[in-house]
């Protein structure tokens, strides 16, 4: 009798697990192939990591203990900074995902912007040096154009960084004909913006498209009818967190 009850209980547990797994598979997808490494690192970080590792090896051979220890710290921190973990992306209809890891510093309607014709919804994400800095596409579509603007390097958490700092704007048109813009903005320490996509390229929601080195910010300008799903102070993860829904 006890064995029968245990078997029934186990059967129900496995059924629930299968149902839950099915729901999870239906709600999320992978926009990029999975990495072959347990700790994936962005390609842009390899030369810097190698340089620090080489310097550390030289210090160690010269028996310079303190410089060697400092070199080890810099090597490991650089590898940590350039980490590029795989992400699963929600498949919810019309969901706009965050293009970056970090903290929401602006989430509001704006009446005008250099990156959008007319009123729009603006979401700004500030990335500290401890966040993953790989950027991802917020919503699928076709890249219409990419505009790079040189500029200053003020603190990326400030509102004026959107228009004063060095930046790279990617203008995308959705399949429904709506337009939005995602802007990579350099910060106080950041001096390198990387963008790997090209005009006329089809992009998928959540796919990697670039990164900004050492602290920065991303702005997203969405159609005015977009319903925002975040507020100032929220923490978001690139490709996984939903920042809004395009109507």
CATH of the domain at 157: 2.70.70
Annotated active-site positions, please? Answer: 216
Cα–Cα–Cα angle for 33, 34, 37, rounded to 5 degrees: 135
pLDDT of residue 18: 41
Classify residue 33: in a domain, yes or no: no
Residue 129 Cα distances to 80, 136, 184, 217, angstroms: 10, 17, 15, 11
Cβ atoms within 10 Å of 63's Cβ, excluding its own: 7
Q: Can you tell me the distance from the alpha carbon of 20 to that of 14, in angstroms, rounded to the nearest whole number?
A: 10
DSSP H/E element including 12: helix 2-27
Residue 212 Cα distances to 45, 152, 215, angstroms: 11, 15, 7
- The tens place of each residue's pLDDT in the chain, 247 residues long, gives 444 444 444 444 534 444 344 444 448 777 777 766 667 888 888 898 999 999 999 999 999 999 999 999 999 988 888 888 889 899 888 999 999 999 999 999 999 888 999 999 999 999 988 899 899 999 999 999 999 988 666 565 556 556 667 889 999 999 999 999 999 988 666 567 889 999 999 999 999 999 987 768 899 999 999 999 999 999 999 999 999 999 8
pLDDT of residue 129: 83
pLDDT of residue 15: 41
The number of folded domains in the chain is 1
Residue pair 82/24 in contact by the 8 Å Cβ criterion = no
Classify residue 31: in a domain, yes or no: no
Q: How buried is 202 (Cβ within 10 angstroms: 0-12 exposed, 13-18 middle, 19+ buried)?
A: exposed
Classify residue 22: in a domain, yes or no: no
Classify residue 126: in a domain, yes or no: yes
Q: Can you tell me the distance from the alpha carbon of 215 to that of 35, in angstroms, rounded to the nearest whole number?
A: 24
Residue pair 82/49 in contact by the 8 Å Cβ criterion = yes
Classify residue 65: in a domain, yes or no: no
Classify residue 241: in a domain, yes or no: yes
pLDDT of residue 183: 95
**HEC string for 164-221:** HECEEEEEEECCCCCEEEEEEEECCCCCCEEECCCCCCEECCCCEEEEECCCEEEEEE
* DSSP conformation letters of 24-56: HHHHEE-SSPPPSSSS-B-GGGHHHHHHHHHHH
pTM (two decimals): 0.79
Classify residue 1: in a domain, yes or no: no
Residue 215 lies in domain:
92-245
pLDDT of residue 155: 60
Classify residue 19: in a domain, yes or no: no
pLDDT of residue 4: 42
Quote the tokens at residue 23.
Answer: 């729901």
pLDDT of residue 140: 95
């Amino acid at each position: 009798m006890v064995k029968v009850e245990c078997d029934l209980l186990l059967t129900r547990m496995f059924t629930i697990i299968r149902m839950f797994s099915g729901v999870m598979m239906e709600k999320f997808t992978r926009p990029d192939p999975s990495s072959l490494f347990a700790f994936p690192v962005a390609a842009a970080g390899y030369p810097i990591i190698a340089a620090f590792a080489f310097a550390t090896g030289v210090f160690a051979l010269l028996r310079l203990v303190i410089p060697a220890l400092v070199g080890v710290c810099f090597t490991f921190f650089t590898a940590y900074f350039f980490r590029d973990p795989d992400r699963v992306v929600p498949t919810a209809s019309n969901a706009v995902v965050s293009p970056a890891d970090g903290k929401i510093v602006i989430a509001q309607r704006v009446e005008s912007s250099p990156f959008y014709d007319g009123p729009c919804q603006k979401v700004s994400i500030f990335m500290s040096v401890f966040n993953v800095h790989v950027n991802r596409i917020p919503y699928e579509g076709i890249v219409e154009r990419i505009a790079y603007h040189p500029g200053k390097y003020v603190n990326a958490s400030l509102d004026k960084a959107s228009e004063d700092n060095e930046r790279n704007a990617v203008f995308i048109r959705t399949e429904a004909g709506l337009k939005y813009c995602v802007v990579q903005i350099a910060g106080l320490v950041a001096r390198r913006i990387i963008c790997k996509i090209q005009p006329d390229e089809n992009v998928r929601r959540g796919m990697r498209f670039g990164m900004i080195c050492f602290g920065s910010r991303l702005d997203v300008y969405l159609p005015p009818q977009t319903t925002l799903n975040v507020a100032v102070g929220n923490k978001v993860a690139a490709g996984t967190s939903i920042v809004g829904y395009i109507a």
